[in-house]
Amino acid sequence: MSRTSAIALLVDTRQALSAGLHEKPQSDGERHQRMLQEVERLLLNVRVGRTLEFELEFPSRMHVIVSN
């Protein structure tokens, strides 16, 4: 996947996690908060080129390899 597509995927994932955060019970909310923080960290690392491969659990399990 291109870097641009990977960034778009992470932005969409971050938005979906943020939207769902307020709808979840406390225990699920904490898990969503952790996933949101991980996605935000990944987003920064993919943008600057430090991360070329990652896995997502949300919205579905996915392995991504970033190409330049």
Is residue 61 pLDDT above 70, yes or no? yes
pTM assigned to the model? 0.85
Cα distance between residue 4 and residue 64, in whole Å: 12
Q: CB 38: neighbour CB atoms within 10 A? A: 16
Q: Could you tell me the pLDDT band of residue 42, with boundaries at 50, 70 and 90?
A: very high
